[in-house]
Amino acid sequence: MSEIKVPEMGESITEGTVSKWVVKEGDTVSQGDVLLELETDKVNLEISAEEDGVVESITKQEGETVQVGESVGVIGAGSGSSKPAASESKPVPESKPESKSDDVVTINYPAKGSEPVAEKTTDKSTNAVTSKPDNGDAIGTPAARKLARERGIDLGSVQSNDPIGRVNPDDVRKHGDKPVPPPKSENAPAKKPVESNPAKPADRQPMSRRRRTIANRLVEAQHNAAMLTTFNEVDMTAILDVRKRRKDAFKEKYDVGLGFMSFFTKAVVGALKKFPMVNAEIDGDDVIVKKFYDIGIAVSAKEGLVVPVVRDADRLGFAQIEKEIATLASKARSNTLGLSELQGGTFTITNGGVFGSLLSTPILNAPQVAILGMHKIQLRPVAIDAERMENRPMMYIALSYDHRIIDGSEAVSFLVKVKELLEDPETLLIEG
C-alpha cells in the first residue's frame, strides 16, 4: 500500500487545487499511469502512480486545496473491485426487515456557531435508505460546503448521489442557486411580501486558482510600485519591407516564420544594454541590476496570461528567437509549460496588437521594473517633411516602469532607443 502524495513543485509553490481525478476508487492502475491533475498558481501538473495496484481511497475531491507532501489518496494491492473503498469504512445502514418504513437522516441546523445535528426519522413514503454519518465529512466535502456557502444553498437540502450520502460539488451545482430563507422567529411580526422583478439570468463561476493568482499579482504590482507609462510610435515600414523580401528565404532556411517578436526582442535587448536600470529589480533597499537578458513574452492561454521566458536573448539570432517563442507559445496554449520556463525573466514584452488593441498601459510583471507594450499596426498619415504626407504603417508602443528607480527621462530615452532600432532594423545586427 502507498499513499498518493502531492509532490514538490518548485520553491514558490506550496499548494495546489485538485483539478480533475482521472481515476476513481476501485480502479486498477499501473506504475506511471496518470491519477489526477493538480492546478497550481503557474502550471497544471499531472500526478502519476508510483506502483501497480488498486485505488483504495480518494481523500481529496476535485476543487479542494492541498499542500505539498499531503496525501490525497491510497493505492493498495487489491483485486480491482469497482466497489469504492469508502463504502467499506462508512457502511450504509440497513433497514430493519420487519419494518416497512426506512431510516432517513434529517439534518437539523441549530443556532449560528453550533454544529448541525443528524436525527434519524422514519419515512413511510419511500423504500430507499438514505443515511449520513454524523462526522464532519458526512454533510459534504469541503469543496461542496464552500460552494454551497457561496451560492447561498442549504447543504442539508441538497440531494446526494454518493453511495454513502456525501454531498459533492456537482450535487450542489445540480441543486441550483436557491438562497436559504432566514428562519422565522415566533415573536417577529409578519412582513408584507416585497414585490420584485423577475431574476435576470446569470452564471456564477468561481475563479480558477491561476486566475486568482493573476488578479492578486496585478493588484499587488499596482499597489507596490510607483508605476508610470510613457508612449511613442514606430514607423514599421522598414521592418515590413525586410519581412516581405526575406520571409520566404527565412522560412525555407530555418523552418520558422519571420515575425515581429524577434525584431522587438532584439530592439529591447539593445536598449537594455544602453539603459541597464530598466533591466533591474528592487530588493528591499537594494537595487539588483541584471547583467543578463531573459526576456518574458506574454502569451494568452485559456486560464489567463502567462509569461514564458526566452533565456539569454542577447545571444540568440532572429531564427533562434522565433523558434523559442513558437515553442513556448505552443506549450502555453496546451498547458504544458514547466515552472523553469516561467521564472526569472528580467523584462517583459506584451503584444495587445494581435487582439486589435491600438493603445494600452501594460501592468508591471513584478519583480521586474518595466514592461513594453506592442499594439496594432495601422496606416496613418505621417508628415514626411514640411510639404509631403504619406500613409505609413504605424504602431504605438508603451513602456510602463517603476518610477522608484527609473527616472522619467531614462524611461523616455529607453523607448526612443527601441523606436530607433526598430525603424532601422539593420542596426539590430550590431546593437541587439
Q: Which residues are catalytic?
A: 403, 407
Nearest CA among 204, 324, 201 for reference residue 265: 324
| Element at 19 (helix H, strand E) | strand 15-21
Rounded Cα distance, 112 and 61, in Å: 27
Cβ neighbours for 26, distance < 8 A, ≥ 6 positions apart: 54, 55, 78, 80, 81, 82, 83, 84, 85
| Helical ranges in 155-259 per DSSP H | 169-175, 209-224, 237-254
- What CA–CA distances, in Å, run from 304 to 209, 213, 368? 11, 10, 19
Cell numbers placing 206: 468561481
What one-letter code names the amino acid at 102?
Answer: D
Separation between Cα atoms, residue 415 and residue 413, nearest integer Å: 5
Nearest in space to 230 (alpha carbons), one of 353, 398, 362, 369:
398
* Of residues 409, 363, 404, the one with CA closest to residue 280: 404
Beta-carbon contacts of residue 210 (< 8 Å; ≥ 6 apart): 39, 40, 41, 42, 303, 304
**Is the distance from CB of 309 to CB of 345 less than 8 angstroms?**
yes
The closest of 293, 268, 215 to 418, measured between CA atoms, is 268
